[in-house]
Amino acid sequence: MKKLIFLFVLIAVLGCGCAMHRHREHVREGLLTYRLHRDAFVKEWGAPDKTITTESDEFINFPSSGQIRSYRTRIPLEVWIYNKYRVALIFRGIRLVGWKTDKTPAELKALSEKSK
């Protein structure tokens, strides 16, 4: 039984490590995609030049008594600005949910390679 638990823990740890490697590879290649982990940006690009904390208005749907009720709530967001890459990244918790840049993935990749 202990061996089985150890095996599950080992698989979980290896799975997390592989996912972070994949996230870092996306950042290195300049491929900004939803749900990238923010630590991948720190490990590849370093700390952001500026961070801003803000909130967004969102509607959340809850089923209640056979009906769906919507509630407005405020969701905390972090905006990370990288001047060198000319990128603003928006995180909800630890996951990327949006970005703004005028750079192509190839240009981001070139800047990433240049900084190493």
Give a three-class secondary structure readout of the chain. CHHHHHHHHHHHHHHHHHHHHHHHHHHHHCCCCCCCEHHHHHHHHCCCCEEEEEEEEEEEEEEECCEEEEEEEEEEEEEEEECCCCEEEEEECCEEEEEEECCCHHHHHHHHHHHC
**Which is more confidently placed, 29 or 2?**
29
pLDDT at 9 over 70: no
For the chain, the domains span: 2-115
Angle of helix 2-29 relative to helix 38-45, nearest 10 degrees, comes to 60
Q: Confidence band (pLDDT; 50, 70, 90) for 77?
A: very high
Q: Which amino acid is at 83?
A: N
pLDDT at 110 over 50: yes
Residue 5, C-beta contacts closer than 8 angstroms, at least 6 positions apart: none
pLDDT for the residue 2? 60
